[in-house]
Structure 1
Amino acid sequence: MNSVPTILVPISGGSKIKAGIVGGAGYTGGELLRILINHPEVEIEFIHSNSNAGNFVYEVHTDLFGDTELKFTNDLSNHIDVLFLCVGHGDARKFLQANPFPEKVKVIDLSQDFRLTDKSGIEYETTDHAGRAFVYGLPELNRDAIKQASNIANPGCFATCLQLGLLPLAASNNLNAEVHITATTGSTGAGQSLSATSHFTWRNDNLSVYKAFEHQHLKEISQSLKQLQGSFDKPINFIPYRGDFTRGIIASMYLDSDLTEDEALKLYADFYSAHPFTHVTTRNIDLKQIVNTNKCFIQVQKKGNKLFIISIMDNLLKGASGQAVQNMNLLFGLDEKLGLNLKATAF
């Protein structure tokens, strides 16, 4: 496809942000829809899906029955303000090359295609084939740059959880030892396509390690830490686990540190004081506190000479679609929390 066809239905008036979604049938697309159909400043113009074109959204995302009469389409439209790409890794770059949207359309890509760059500094960017520049969209790291950006590379789920656990140390030049991390993610982190390790019969009552020491999100994490502390050159030893639950990430990290517990707590609290979704606590934390929210909770303790950090968040929200909407709010000058005051499941 060399050009973007327009939808035949007239575009309605008003000042709301007009959004298009590509890849709306998957997990991240579904979470994005759940947020945007209730967002007071957004109007969804199209939800692209080749495999589900013509079907009602609620026929795929059955929990949305009664909430929307929107249908999937295989048409695209230029008459939008923001385009969300909820496609597989490697497909976002191909999609933009085949479907060149006008420069005025802001793009928020939830794949890994535009996350990495050789540049340094807070406004590190990567570009697509047409020179469209992408800013790495971790608000706790690049919020000012995001506000001035045109296009966002949304961070990965593990990358978000782990970075939020380590950024305050890098920002204060206190990341001076190798880091040891164990993190477990829910089955939705594997995406909606079935595989041997995502079937219920395999995943239930089971636990397994994958991509030990070589997970793809390590590159994002190292890039961000060096952005804040250019001298950081220590190993990040990351052991990811597949959990036997549906959603959420819990990560435990430790490293040698000269900081006292009180110093570390103050450092973390100060760093995140202006960020509405990341909260530091001395209490024990658990996944049910954050599942179905855009929050990240961080617990900090000192054990001997080790600084011990626990970071928890929902992989589909703060780790994907919730953060994408947070970035959209920043791009368009809205309240960062708009549409994202979501309640945890609790039980």
Structure 2
Amino acid sequence: MDNGIMIKAGIVGGAGYTGGELIRLLLNHPQVDLVFAQSKSQAGKPVYSVHQDLIGETGLLFSDAATEEVDVIFLCAGHGAAQEFLTGAAVSLSTKIIDLSQDFRWQEDTEAGAVEAHDRAFVYGLPELQREEIKEAASIANPGCFATAIQLALLPLADQNLLTSEVHVSGITGSTGAGQSLSPTSHFSWRNGNVSNYKVLEHQHLNEIRRTLSSLQEKELPPIHFVPYRGPFTRGILCTAYLNFDLELAEALQLYKSYFRSHPFITITDTTPDLKQVINTNKCLLHLTMQGNQLIITSVIDNLLKGASGQALQNMNLMYGLGETTGLKLKASAF
């Protein structure tokens, strides 16, 4: 519900893909005043000169530092930069932090959602896992994009101790998942009309996936095998997970609908989903089917929204007691 507050927000690392999406969302949020968007590489330039979809939306200039005291800072500067910023900047402990990198998502020998750093306790920001903890948090470690899609596909099973056999997952992501810096595998001439796998069975998001699922399931977690693919498109993630399942499909559907019944961005769909249904939204679509004794779960999200900036804003809404969907009622581009 609208509690009448106005939230002063700032972004560190505003020139990248997640920073650009977050600027767009914050500018259109009814209870946010975007005070600054920092970028060392673009300082002094208009935000719209980098994020050209924002032409006519804002006259804000990129700053070279966090220029004013704000209520919440979003860290979008990439892995390692969040640690560097909090080490070097004088940020009040009363300022809430939402970090979109992997710097505070997990540490060895800690429980899920209990990372301590810079005199802060970082709560793992997956609302469908620990909404109540996020409401009370002052610092959030936003989940990874693949991690979000895969965890949402498996959370209801872990919650009922039903991850009892090896889980196999394949997933494909768009080029924006690699960030804005150019690399050989993000050039149009290489990416267009091409598919490749990478980090097979060793993707960095497996660490947080296993920690999250282990925090729910009392039984020992079985191996999770993940093969990620680079797709010839710009944004979106489609993952397919499958595992042995001793119950009927109808029981699985009931289980998933019950688990997600109060979560507004999750939809269990009867038809096979595709990326265009979720692109430019904070939605996750889940589709369940069975072949023999194999339960097959398809999960689709926009990697820049539910997989990054949209989820960060969802977390901010929860932290400030706002309606969870505030500023996030976005329309997909189906054609």
Sort the TM-score into its range (normalised by shorter chain). Answer: over 0.9
Give the equivalent residue in structure 1 for 2:63.
Answer: 73
- Residue of structure 1 aligned with 2:236, choices 248, 253, 263: 248
Give the structure 2 partner of residue 101 of structure 1. Answer: 91
The structure 2 residue matched to 1:210, chosen from 170, 182, 198, is 198
| Kept after mapping to 2: 8 A contact 1:225/1:232 | no
After superposition, the C-alpha distances for 1:164-202 in whole angstroms (9 at most, x for unaligned) are: 000000001111110001100000000000000000000
| Secondary structure of residue in 2 paired with 1:345 | coil
Aligned residue for 1:35, secondary structure, equals helix
Give the one of 251, 264, 282 matched to 1:276.
264
Between the two proteins, what is the percent identity of the paired residues? 58
Q: Secondary structure at the match of 2:306?
A: helix
Q: Shift of residue 125 of structure 1?
A: 1.3
Task: Give the counterpart letter for 1:239 in structure 2.
Answer: V
Partner of 1:126: 115
Structure-2 separation of matches of 1:37 and 1:294: 16
2:329 pairs with one of 326, 332, 341: 341
Candidates 85, 108, 126, aligned match of 2:75: 85
Q: AA paired with 2:114?
A: E
Contact 1:84 1:110 in 2 (8 A): yes
- Distance in 1 (alpha carbons) for counterparts of 2:196 and 2:293: 30
Question: What does the per-residue CA deviation read over 1:150-169, in whole Å, with 9 as the maximum and x for residues that have no partner?
Answer: 00000000000000000000
- After superposition, what is the alpha-carbon deviation per residue over 1:47-93, rounded to whole angstroms, capped at 9, x for unaligned? 10111111111000011001111110113245200000001111111
Moved more, 313-322 or 73-82: 73-82
Amino acid paired to 2:204: Q
* 2:20 maps to 1:30: yes
Aligned to 2:174: 186
Matched, 1:169 2:157: yes
Once structures 1 and 2 are overlaid, which stretch shifts more, 277-286 or 16-25? Answer: 277-286
* Aligned length in residues: 331
Report the equivalent of 1:143: 131
Counterpart of 1:299 in structure 2: which amino acid? Answer: H
TM-score normalised by structure 1 residue count? 0.94
Give the CA deviation at 1:230: 3.2
Matches within 5 A, 1:276-315: 276-315=264-303
Work out which of the residue numbers 7, 17, 29 in structure 2 matches 1:17.
Answer: 7
> Are 2:213 and 2:221, in contact at CA under 8 Å, matched by a contact in 1?
no
2:156 aligned counterpart, secondary structure: helix
Q: Does 1:45 align with 2:35?
A: yes
Q: Retained in 2: the 8 A contact 1:197–1:203?
A: yes
Query: Which segments of 5 or more consecutive residues in structure 1 lack a partner in the other structure?
Result: 1-13
Shift of 1:303: 0.9
Deviation, structure 1 residue 233? 2.6
**Stretches of structure 2 lacking an aligned partner (at least 5 in a row):** none
Quick one: which of 255, 261, 264 aligns to 2:252? 264
Of 133, 142, 146, 1:154 maps to: 142
Q: Distance in 2 between matches of 1:233 and 1:338?
A: 36
Greater than 6 Å deviation, 4+ residue runs: none
Offset of 1:214 from its aligned partner?
A: 0.1
Distance (Å, rounded) in 1 between the aligned partners of 2:228 and 2:39: 31
Residues 1:110 and 2:100 are matched in the alignment: yes
| 1:99 shift after superposition | 0.6
Q: Distance in 1 between matches of 2:220 and 2:191?
A: 37
Give the Å deviation of 1:15: 4.1
What is the letter of the counterpart of residue 46 of structure 1?
F
What corresponds to 1:3 in structure 2? none
Report the aligned-residue RMSD. Answer: 1.1
1:277-329 C-alpha deviation (Å, 9 max, x unpaired): 01112212111000000000000111100000000000000000000000000
Q: Is the 8 A contact 1:78 1:101 kept in 2?
A: no
Cα distance in 2 for residues equivalent to 1:230 and 1:86: 34
TM-score by length of structure 2 reads 0.97
Q: Which secondary structure state, in structure 2, belongs to the residue aligned with residue 317 of structure 1?
A: coil
Q: Give 1:329's match in structure 2, choosing from 312, 317, 329.
A: 317
